[in-house]
């Protein structure tokens, strides 16, 4: 893949100095240029001309600017924004995501929300604001325990696998639905000691075509699939109605995967006991959107992947992929056009 000449790496994302030194220490051939640009025209033409490897968040250069570009490593796990880019027209160009680097913090966020929903954290906080000690607190605040429940994972990538690992401590029955049930193992990037690389942490695996059958069994449902033409609207009115009355939903994938109007209806009609949603079709979510006032909805502003250690973990994964690039090996998390991720 790579020649024996210098490998010109352009990064538009600032890394901690320790990460930069780690990347440079991989090989004397690696030459790193840092430019914190948000638009392609902010980077000099000569820099684009010599760039072989681009590390970026969402900056997408025109193909004409980057004649020597061979690989784009994105800073995020979700790269649905690359769909439609002319970068996909260069067949030999490698595109990779950061899938797996955010699994730890996403897993903790999901576990937090599962517990918060079942233990009625939102109504408890409202009660605190009112400074009340209600006489009927047993009926109002007795939890739906996570222990012994059935949790369905819609999508079994790096995030779903980390959640499955964490849930084992709660004696939970874990169901999972994924696109390819014939390969339960994880072929992407996994942080050592985390996730489910061999596909051992679920009790039953469903093909995505049998999603409704899985939903009927679940006390909690977690949605973690990428946004693709196939997953847009995946969780709609039919799927929400198939869920158990009184079940809970946690949604951290991408806006557009869950039908927000159908979710609002399911909450308003109390078919669902509650939900936690971190991603929305329109972001930032407008102040007049009815989801802000939906009953028993914990709404967060797309923060489930935030971590003070994310750049460190992203740098470790980028270093692993750079090693593979130097050796001419297959890269981790390579974008596949037929899957759209």
Q: Which residues are catalytic?
A: 254, 283, 302
Interhelix angle 121-130/103-118, nearest 10 degrees = 60
CA distance 325 to 170: 40
Lookup: tokens for 257 = 């995967």
Residue 226 CB partners (closer than 8 Å, separation 6+):
78, 80, 155, 157, 253, 254, 340, 341
Nearest to 173, CA basis, from 155, 156, 152:
152
In terms of DSSP H, where are the helices of the chain?
A: 17-24, 45-50, 103-118, 121-130, 137-141, 158-167, 211-215, 237-242, 260-268, 310-327
CA distance 155 to 161: 9
C-alpha torsion sign, points 250, 254, 256, 257: negative
Residue written as tokens 């069994």? 217
DSSP string of 196-240, one letter each residue:
-TTS-S-SEEEEGGGHHHHHTT-SEEEE-PPP-TTTTT-B-HHHH
Q: Say if CB 126 and CB 193 are below 8 A apart.
A: no
Lookup: tokens for 36 = 């914190």
Is the link from the previous residue into 284 a cis peptide, with omega within 30 of 0? Answer: yes
Residue written as tokens 């159908």? 262
CA distance 86 to 190: 30
Residue written as tokens 């593979």? 324
């Amino acid at each position: 893949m790579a020649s024996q000449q210098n490998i010109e790496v352009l990064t538009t994302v600032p890394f901690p100095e320790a990460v930069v030194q780690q990347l440079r220490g991989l090989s004397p051939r690696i030459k790193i240029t840092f430019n914190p640009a948000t638009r392609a025209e902010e980077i000099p033409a000569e820099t684009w001309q010599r760039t072989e490897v681009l590390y970026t968040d969402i900056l997408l250069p025109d193909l004409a600017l980057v004649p020597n570009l061979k690989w784009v490593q994105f800073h995020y796990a979700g790269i649905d924004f690359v769909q439609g880019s002319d970068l996909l027209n260069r067949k030999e160009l490698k595109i990779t995501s950061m899938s797996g680097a955010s699994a730890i913090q996403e897993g903790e966020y999901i576990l937090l929300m599962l517990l918060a929903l079942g233990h009625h954290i939102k109504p408890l906080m409202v009660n605190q604001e009112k400074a009340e000690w209600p006489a009927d607190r047993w009926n109002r605040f007795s939890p739906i325990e996570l222990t012994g429940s059935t949790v369905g994972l819609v999508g079994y990538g790096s995030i779903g696998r980390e959640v499955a690992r964490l849930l084992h401590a709660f004696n939970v029955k874990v169901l999972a639905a994924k696109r390819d049930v014939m390969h339960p193992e994880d072929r992407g990037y996994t942080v050592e000691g985390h996730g489910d690389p061999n596909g051992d942490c679920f009790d039953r695996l469903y093909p995505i075509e049998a999603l409704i059958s899985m939903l009927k069994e679940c006390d909690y449902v977690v949605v973690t699939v990428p946004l693709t033409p196939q997953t847009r609207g995946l969780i709609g009115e039919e799927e929400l109605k198939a869920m158990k009355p009184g079940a809970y939903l946690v949604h951290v994938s991408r806006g557009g995967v869950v039908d927000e109007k159908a979710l609002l209806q399911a909450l308003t009609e109390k078919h669902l006991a509650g939900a936690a949603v971190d991603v929305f079709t329109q972001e930032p979510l407008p102040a007049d959107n009815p989801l802000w006032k939906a009953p028993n909805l914990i709404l967060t502003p797309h923060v489930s992947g935030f971590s003070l250690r994310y750049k460190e973990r992203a740098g470790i994964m980028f270093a692993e992929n750079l090693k593979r690039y130097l050796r001419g090996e297959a890269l981790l998390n390579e974008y596949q056009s037929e899957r759209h991720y």
